[in-house]
Amino acid sequence: MPSLKDLKNRIGSVKSTQKITSAMKMVAAAKLRKAQDQALASRPYTSLMDNVVSKLVSNSSSSSVDLLTGKEDNKTQLLVVFSADRGLCGGFNGSITRAVRKEVKLLTDNGIKVKLLMVGKKSAVALNREFGDLYIDRIEGKSGKPNFSDAEILARKIITLFENNEFGNCRVIYNKFISAIAQEVTYRSLIPVEVKEDKIEENVSNSVFEFEPSEEEILNDLLPRNLATQLFSSQIESTASELAARMTAMDNATRNAGEMIDKLTLQYNRTRQAVITSELIEIISGAEAL
């Protein structure tokens, strides 16, 4: 049975932890508002970019643009994985790690070689022992600060690897922000470009467009920008999801610490009462003996 001093020290320790988790929750909540607004504001732009690409594809007489079609003869697939650089965000990093592990196994079982480009420290570290030999690069320190210039650098790196025949197609895996308590692991094809079939049918049936220069020339210029846009959007969604997961996790931790403090305080009071009762019995017994 712990002594009164041990219980008092433990109560003090849990109270200190509660202050830390409460502060982290408030910081995450403050950052989440900005990240959420940024994520929601980016979606119409990303969707419009998809529509433009779909419209160009529907009017193009050729599909010779490599970024649009991928390389069918190259059976290697590149997975770009977005995770967090920091922990203490619930199951955020774990869900991405499990998704990557499952996807790599599925592709390998189907005879497809896999390469990984890890953006964020946590999943890279968690998967390093199993799949470290598949890593093309690890990018750390960027998860909490989405920047379009970083997305452009990453897009150029992916395009260079693609042109060097390092892989035939590429997908991104990230957590999409749904709400403060829900994030969804999302897969998106970057190469070949994910084209909306419904938009193609709509464009073909209802509209006639003439392009100058040709659709292929426009696509050659537009697709690298589209790749950077999709990567930037994925990073924004991942950052908002990370902050939401951290806020929720720290809120739960703060409430759990409060419950633990109540239990420890009750145990402390009962132990203290038992000690007082024992001392009184000893005093009374000694007085009667005299």
Active-site residue numbers? 89
- Residue 251 CA: distances (Å) to CA of 24, 258, 265: 9, 11, 21
Say if residues 172 and 234 touch (Cβ distance below 8 Å). Answer: yes
The separation between the first and the last C-alpha atoms of the chain, rounded to the nearest angstrom, is: 32
C-alpha closest to that of 67 among 235, 231, 221, 173 = 221
Q: How far apart are CA 71 and CA 170, in angstroms?
A: 10
Strand ranges (E), the chain: 76-82, 113-119, 135-139, 169-179, 182-191
Residue 195 burial (CB < 10 Å; 0-12/13-18/19+)?
Answer: middle
Q: How far apart are CA 75 and CA 71, in angstroms?
A: 8
C-alpha triplet 11, 15, 20: angle, nearest 5°: 150
